[in-house]
Amino acid sequence: LAMSEKQGHLNGAFYGPSVPPPTQHYHRPGRGSGCGCFCCLFSLLLKIIVSLVVIIGLAIFIFWLIFRPNVVKFHVTDVSLTQFNLTSPNTLHYNLTMTITVRNPNKKIGIYYDTIEARAYYEDQRFDTEYLTPFYQGHKNTSYLTPVFQGQQMVVLGANELSAFNQERAAGVYSIDVKLYLNVRFKLGKIKVGKFKPKIKCDLKVPLGGVNEGIAAGTETTKCDINGGNFVFHI
């Protein structure tokens, strides 16, 4: 019995106390370092955006290959100023006629000019507005616009503008701006697309007393600028 008790004490001391089982950790879905559904949704949205950009870019490239669009060109080819006189109180008397050529260089694109508004300016003061007849311009076609500005209009000229007017009257050449405000549609085959609103600006130096001989003879033209960007199909 003594040996048995002694052996029991020795076994207990030798093995030591019992070791508790390891603690188990449970991972709850939707928490922790992972972003879950939000990351999946963001990744899907990014893939959709990239795919749309590629598809649109490919469609534009194919469109360009098929139609080969080019910018429409505007030039003033002749102009006549027979009256441009300022009387008191600030009344401008004028008689201005001109021809503007419109060149559509495209082989497969036609243009509908639904609205053509021509405005005449002097020193940033608009003194007349004319509405021209709408028309359709076919492929590789040159058309002509002939606005006529005639009458009288009140204008407000400050000291600097009045001084510039007197200098130009002495020289016999006036700086006049003509702007075209357009509403256009494009015809691609049998399809009509639009509407677009390009603005055309023609900066002119017009001699008083008759037709500008250089422009009328075809030795000089004035190129008109397209304001605010391109005439839609400028590549």
Who contacts 197 (Cβ-Cβ below 8 Å, separation ≥6)? 181, 182, 183, 184
Q: What is the pLDDT of residues 175-201, one digit of tens each?
A: 999 999 999 999 988 888 878 899 999
Dump pLDDT digits (tens) for 53-77.
Answer: 877 765 554 454 444 567 899 999 9
Question: 73-223 belongs to which homologous superfamily?
Answer: Immunoglobulins (2.60.40.10)
Residue 82: pLDDT band by 50, 70, 90 thresholds? very high
**Per-residue pLDDT, 29:** 53
Question: What is the structure's pLDDT at 219?
Answer: 41
Query: Lowest-confidence range among 36-40, 147-151, 161-165, 228-232?
Result: 228-232
Domain boundaries, the chain: 73-223
* Range with the poorest average pLDDT among 53-57, 73-77, 131-135, 222-226: 53-57
End-to-end CA distance of the chain: 110
pLDDT in the model for residue 38:
73
User: Please, which residues have CB within 8 angstroms of residue 128's CB and are 6 or more apart in sequence?
Assistant: 94, 96, 119, 120, 149, 150, 151, 153
- The number of residues making up the chain comes to 235
Who has greater pLDDT, 176 or 209? Answer: 176
